[in-house]
């Protein structure tokens, strides 16, 4: 599920032309795309556009089909591919499992961002970051240093970890096992993480932005958050690390706004940061899919880890368990939790419109259901898996 290569980007843009290109027009367009679509050496200026001969306008989704940016990008999202080095503590080996292995067991969802783990991020495109940033979140957390030190499978605040532990205890009383299955989210869900804010700030700090623009930018954020130290402040690391998830989100969302772009801020910084910290295996995974990692939740009274040996960069509390593997093909949440998802059918929102998938996802997240993996679910999954294999749909 990695991003497109340069040849695919060229094909996508050239084929988007209303009038087929040939001869010198095709060669000129190809050269222009090659020049603009490769790894960045610096952030494009605010509002900058790719200028391709014979193609008047490049559609937003050709540059960013998964929505890493909010207001449109100046370059294809792949121009912001990360450069990383392996962390000192490698992740435990990934396992492939099948839904049949979980028949008769319980599943409960958790909505995780799709951040990478097991690497140190050192660059975006061909642009070096000012220092390396350790990546330790997302599904890889189940196999990372915290898992190796404390058998931890997830991290959050104490209330969330206690809820999972209580659900696991109730399942154990029924003679059942409860497994945690992360569900994919939209790219902007990464905005709560410290690393996303820090990479965004790093990219902006290295950009040639007028002092007056930075002053206006800082004033605009301070109007929303009085504790903002300033983009060029020596205290920005401390601020980002201690800021609340909502404060981090507010910072990145402002960078990724038309207001910031009009000021002169290179708004691609937000999308570049999101893309560069995303797990490569999940870059093209739509929201609402689970199975990229599954873990058994600890049901013991001592399975909540309040003082972890290896803390998560954003959350104080962890819960023990056991990593079990990943499904060969991810499943949509409607198939993983059919009873709860089905309960939303026919219901209307406050405006009287049928519930959208986003509404249903919110409902699923709020209900935090526990559902059993049935034989019917297994049979349907196996049929879907064989169909996907026969069509080459897993060859990514």
What residue spans define the domains of the chain? Answer: 6-80, 83-191+280-390
Residue whose pair of structure tokens reads 């965004």 in the numeric block: 200
Q: For the chain, which ranges sit under pLDDT 70?
A: 1-2, 395-396
pTM of the complete model: 0.93
* Alpha carbons 252 and 237: distance in angstroms, whole number: 15
Task: Give the CA angle between residues 270, 275, 276 to the nearest 5°.
Answer: 100
Structure-token pair, residue 116 = 């990478």
In the prediction, which pLDDT does 173 show?
97
CB atoms within 10 A of CB 111: 18
């Amino acid at each position: 599920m990695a991003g497109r290569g340069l040849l695919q980007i060229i094909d996508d843009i050239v084929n988007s032309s209303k009038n087929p290109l040939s001869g010198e027009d095709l060669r000129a367009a190809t050269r222009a795309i090659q020049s603009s679509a490769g790894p960045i050496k610096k952030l494009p200026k605010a509002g900058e556009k790719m200028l391709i001969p014979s193609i008047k306008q490049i559609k937003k989704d050709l540059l960013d089909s998964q929505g890493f940016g909010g207001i449109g990008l100046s370059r294809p999202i792949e121009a912001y591919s990360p450069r990383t080095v392996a962390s000192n503590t490698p992740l435990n080996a990934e396992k492939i499992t099948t839904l049949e292995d979980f028949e008769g067991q319980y599943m409960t969802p958790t909505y995780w961002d799709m951040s990478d783990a097991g690497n140190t991020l050192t660059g975006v495109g061909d642009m070096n970051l000012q220092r390396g940033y350790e990546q330790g979140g997302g599904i890889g957390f189940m196999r990372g240093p915290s898992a190796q030190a404390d058998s931890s499978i997830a991290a959050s605040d104490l209330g969330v970890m206690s809820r999972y532990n209580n659900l696991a205890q109730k399942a154990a009383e029924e003679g059942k096992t409860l497994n945690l299955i992360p569900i994919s989210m939209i790219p902007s869900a990464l905005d709560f993480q410290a690393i996303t804010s820090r990479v965004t700030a790093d990219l902006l700090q290295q950009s040639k932005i007028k002092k007056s623009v930075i002053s206006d930018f800082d004033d605009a954020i301070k109007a929303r958050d009085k504790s903002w130290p300033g983009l060029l402040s020596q205290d920005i690391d401390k601020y980002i690390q201690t800021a609340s998830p909502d404060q981090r989100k507010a910072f990145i969302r402002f960078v990724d706004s038309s207001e910031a772009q009009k000021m002169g801020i290179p708004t691609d910084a937000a999308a570049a940061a999101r893309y560069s910290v995303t797990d490569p295996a999940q870059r093209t995974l739509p929201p609402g899919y689970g199975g990229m990692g599954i873990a058994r939740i600890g049901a013991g009274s001592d399975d909540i880890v309040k003082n972890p040996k290896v803390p998560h960069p954003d959350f104080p509390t962890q819960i023990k368990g056991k990593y079990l593997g990943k499904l060969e093909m991810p499943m949509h949440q409607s198939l993983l939790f059919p009873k709860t998802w089905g309960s939303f059918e026919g219901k209307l929102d406050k405006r009287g419109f049928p519930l959208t998938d986003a509404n249903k996802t919110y409902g699923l997240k709020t209900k935090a259901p526990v559902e059993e993996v049935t034989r019917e679910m297994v049979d349907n999954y196996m049929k879907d898996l064989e169909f996907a294999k026969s069509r080459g749909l897993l060859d990514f």
